[in-house]
Amino acid sequence: GATSESMAKVAARRYARCLGKLGFPTRFLNFRIVNVLGTCSMPWAIKIVNFSERHRENASYEPELHPGVTYKMRDPDPKATLKIFSTGSVTVTAASVNHVES
Listing DSSP states for 3-59 in one string gives SSHHHHHHHHHHHHHHHHHTT------S-----EEEEEE-SS---HHHHHHHTTTTE
Span 14-63, pLDDT tens digits: 999 999 999 999 999 999 999 999 999 999 999 999 999 999 999 999 99
Please name the fold of domain 34-101.
Answer: TATA-Binding Protein (3.30.310)
What is the spatial distance between Cα 19 and Cα 11, in angstroms, rounded to a whole number?
13
What is the number of other CB atoms lying within 10 angstroms of the CB of residue 80? 20
How confident is the model over 1-13, as a mean pLDDT?
91
Q: What is the pLDDT of residues 66-96, one digit of tens each?
A: 999 999 997 777 889 999 999 999 999 998 8
Domain boundaries, the chain: 1-32, 34-101
pLDDT digits (tens, 9 = 90+) for 51-72: 999 999 999 999 999 999 999 9
Nearest to 84 by CA among 53, 52, 56: 52
